[in-house]
Amino acid sequence: MDIEKYTREVLYDIKQRGEEALKEYSSRFDNYVGPIRVPAEEIEESDSLMNPDQISAIDTVIERVRNVHSAQINHSTLFTQNGSMYGIVERPLKRIGLYVPGGKPLPSSLIMSAVPARIAGVREIVVVTAPNGGKIEPALLYIAKKLDISEIYRIGGIQAIGAMAYGIGMKPVQKIFGPGNAFVTEAKRQVFGTVGIDGLNGPSEICIIADEAADPKYVMADLASQLEHGPDSKAWLLTTSSELARVCEAEGVDIRIYSTLEECISSANELAPEHLELLVMDPMRLIDMVENAGAVYMGPYSPVPAGDYFLGVNHILPTGGSAVFSSALTVWDFTKRISVAYTGRDEFMKFRKSGMELASIEGMAAHRKSMEARN
C-alpha cells in the first residue's frame, strides 16, 4: 500500500465531509459507532476500575516527571541597553492535541506529554485514542483526571490526526504530540503547517556502549527491552570487550567491537540513537563526548525501561537518526517564544543610518523611508 497516497486521501475526505467521514472511519477501523467524546462521568469513575497498586504507581510517576520537568520553566530573557530593551518572552500554547496509541495503550506516554504541557501552562489539552470494544483504558482516563484533562475522544489513526488538525468534531488544536504507527506518523507529516507537530516518531532504538565491567545480564536485558517494541526496533551493542560481545550475541542485535571507548562514542554519534546507555566503569568521563542521542542513561541502575517509566526524564525522543537535529520532548515544546524590542530615541538615531543603508542594498525604499521619517 502507498501509505502517503492513502493518508492524503483519508485526510482530504475528513476535511471535506467532516464528522460523517470521521464516524465512517471509526466504524471501519475501530469497530465503534457511538459518541466519540468520552463523558465526564466515565473519566471521574476511572479510579474505581483500577487497583490501589496501579493508582499508586501512576501517582508516583506523575510526581517524578513533574519534579524533573519543573526545572525547565520560563526561558524569557530581556536585557536593557542605553534606555532600550530587547529579548524574548515565552508564552504557552493555548490548545494542543495528544495522540495515544490504542492498540497497546501507553499510559506512560500520556504522562510524558501531558505533565510538561501543564507545567508550560497549556490551558486546553485534547487526548485522542482508539477505543477497544468501545472502551478507553482506565489508566488513561485516570491520568487525564489527575491532570485535569476533560476533553478525550474515542478516535485513533489518520482520522484522529485529521480531526485535531482540521477541527472535526472538536475545536482545532495548535500542535499535535505523540507517537503512532506508520499511518499516524504520515498523517502528522501531512498536516504539519496547518498545525505544529512534535516530530515524526519511528521504531524504537537502543544503543549500548559497554566495557569489560558491564554485567552481561544487564546488557542483554536492556537490549531485549527495546526489541520488545516490535520487529522494526533496532539494537546496537558497541563494546571494547570481545568476551561481552560473544556472550551477548542475539538475534536482532548489531554488535560491533572497537579498540577504545572513544571509538564506541564516535560510532554512536553517527548512529544518533533514540536511547544510549553507557554501561562502563566511568560513564561521566564519556558524557561530554556524546553529541547525538535522544537520551543518555549512565551506569547500571539507569536502564532505558526505568527512563520509560519512573526516572522522570522524558521518554518521547527523536528516532531514525533525527537526534542529530532533534531533542527529547521538554516543557519548551509546549511554548513559543516572541521576540520583543523597545528602542529609545538615542539608540534608534545611533543605528538608523546602518538600517537605511541595508534597506537601500535590498531595494526596499519604503523600509528606508520608515526609518528616515523618524528624527
Looking at the annotation, which residues are catalytic? 274-275
Q: Determine the Cα–Cα distance for residues 293 and 324; give it in Å rounded to an integer.
A: 7
**3-class DSSP state for residue 107?**
helix
Read off φ and ψ for residue 98, nearest 5 degrees. -115, 120
Q: How many CA atoms lie within 13 A of 368 on its CB side?
A: 12
Residue type, 362: E
Q: Which of 309, 308, 301, 297 is nearest to 60 (CA)?
A: 309
The SS3 of residue 290 is coil
Q: Are 159 and 10 in contact (CB under 8 A)?
A: yes
Residue with C-alpha cell 469513575?
45
The b-or-e profile of 98-118 (16+ CB within 10 A means b, else e) is: bbbbbeebbbbbbbbbbbbbb
The DSSP letter of residue 332 is G
Question: Residue 255 pairs with which residues in a beta bridge?
Answer: 237
**Sheet containing 151-153: which strands, arranged edge to edge?**
151-153, 124-128, 95-99, 175-177, 196-197
Q: Is 316 in a helix, a strand, or coil?
A: coil
Q: What sign does the dihedral 238-243-244-245 (CA atoms) show?
A: positive
> What is the rounded distance in angstroms from the CA atom of residue 130 to the CA atom of residue 156?
4
For 225, the grid coordinates are 527491552
